Amino acid sequence: MRTYWDSSALLNALASKTVYDRLEASENLTRSHGYVEVFSHLSGRGLPMKDGTRQKVSSGDAARMIASLSTRFSVRDLTLAETLSTIEAARKIGVQGARIHDLLHAASAKLSGADLILTRDKGFASLAQGIKSEWP
């Protein structure tokens, strides 16, 4: 199985051993911008914990955590033409604002041949282009 992890799932992998252990079950895919989103959360708001708190992470530690996690993934970035095509599709289907990030994740998942998308975004299914999505 080819599993695509969006940035929320990547964060979960860093916060939960149960989620991290899912890395053993399939070929894992993401796009490089997902790591940027994770860095932003880790070094900004902090790592989300089960009890609802956030653990502040230094930028150096965030970089090391992401580098370690990245060894478990294949990356499929969008070309300029694919990005522009996805932006045009966003216009056609009414995607606005920050939802473009989810649509770009969905496009990358589709182009990488993913069978499953892991995400914490409950509204992701409408953008998943026929790929099953589930909570990490």
For the stretch 68-96, pLDDT in tens is 999 999 999 999 999 999 999 999 999 99
Query: Which residue ranges of the chain lie beneath pLDDT 70?
Result: none
State the Cα–Cα distance between residues 30 and 95, nearest whole angstrom. Answer: 21
What residues does each domain of the chain span? 2-134
Tell me the three state secondary structure of residue 42: helix
Q: Which residues contact 11 (CB under 8 A, 6 or more apart)?
A: 38, 41, 42, 47, 48, 120
CATH for the 2-134 domain, from 3.90.930.12, 3.40.50.1010, 3.30.420.40, 3.30.930.10: 3.40.50.1010
The count of other CB atoms within 10 Å of the CB of residue 55 is 11
Whole-model pTM: value is 0.92
CA atoms of 48 and 35, how far apart (whole Å): 16
